[in-house]
Structure 1
Amino acid sequence: MTSNKGVHASLRRSGGLLAVVVFLLSMTCGLPATASAEDSGATDMYRMYNPNSGEHFYTADGNERDSLRAAGWRYEGVGWVAPVHSNTPVYRLYNPNASDHHYTMNAAEKDSLVASGWNYEGIGWYSSDTNRSLPVYRQYNPHARSGSHNYTLNGNEAANLVSQGWRDEGVAWYAVGGASPAPAEPTPAPNPAPAPTPGKQITPGAYCKKSEAGQQGTAYGKIYTCAYRPGNKIPHWYPA
């Protein structure tokens, strides 16, 4: 027969173990779920074109876009929409010898280009880690010195370039939103026709009739007025 002291000791041990279990369960249940590194936010990727070099340039920076437009680049609209952040950065590089940019998710490719003399300009944007429905395709023009790569969401554009001799280099990265063209540039208003020059053709400085005093005439595209001047009894054509 178990003594009361033994029962109490057993209960104390069981109670202590139960308290530990309850504590651990409460800690586990309180842990937040592991969050994805891909933010829910998104950013437009602006597509620019240099008509002199043939290069396409891509940036999420509106100020950089506007600066390039002021320098003569053409704004072609939003090329795609990228996540604000993810586990997959897209690196931006610049070739100072060819004045050309290149973009890649491949860190080894980035390091190889830097070793070859390219400038590393940091992370340009991010690729989606979760969305695989919007691939951005990469094509390469083996005959171009500048603007040798093109990146597009448009499969038809990619196929058309490949049919013209560009090389299909597969998927460059993934977007979270589609493209949208640049708004149409407003058509400048036609220059208004020059207003007709008032009055008849006259000879500057010549006499005019008293009945013409106050009237205007023209000569060599300028306007003159028939007027009296101090000391003149007869009006003359003077500049208006």
Structure 2
Amino acid sequence: MICRVTSPYAQDGFGVGFDWGPVGAGVVAGDIVAVVDVLSFTTAVTVAADLGVDVYPYRWRDETAVAYAEQYGAKLAVGRSEAGPGDVSLSPVSIRRVTGITKLVLPSPNGSTIAKLLSDTGATVIAVSLRNRLAAAEWVTRQLAGRPAAKVVAIAAGERWKDGSLRPAVEDLWGAGGFLSALRSDDLSPEARAAVAAYDAVAGELPKLLHECAGGRELTQYGYPEDVAIAAEVDQSRSVPVLRDGMMFRST
């Protein structure tokens, strides 16, 4: 008889879990997984969803991304610094300004990459930000009514240091914690409870603290303060982008 040892990192035995980055997403499996990348992938996805634009997450912005966009007849987002009039980038501002598109391939090294990795796991993957954390929690609660045994996991995307290692981004911790807090579950793993506590500690000071955290200061320094302001539109979106067949479409 084979004795299988459960990974101590999997947060088994809890209905709600939390972890960081693509490695955490691979270890802490969920039936419903919320990817959280507040600055800026999941914020950009919710802005697109509000406008009726479907988003195709993609890992890299290279020649394969060009072919991928052509395959679906979608517009390919460019880098923020490369964007000109009529272009779309990871900047939520650029998505709000563009007209005439219904499909967008949106590469990013963090949130988009995690969503793409999860697309083949069989999990229901949703994009969560501070803008839609309440709507997303309500949507998940409705899903759980028919799937009471389903496990919910929030994955904070984080950022990368220059050496490629994970830089935990506090804005993603807040976004994940805000979503998990709104679930009002009494079956949270210790990690999920820590994320909820982090959000609850700052909820009364958002959006101010989003502008003052390292990620907010970085985008402002690079000339994108409006992107931070959009990310700080707490609970202003009712869109819940759901990943299906490689595409994130709006579900409300």
TM-score bracket for the superposition, by shorter chain length: under 0.3
TM-score for both structures, normalised by structure 1: 0.22
More helix per residue: 2
Q: Which has the higher contact order (CA 8 A, sep 6+)?
A: 2
TM-score for both structures, normalised by structure 2: 0.21
More strand per residue: 1
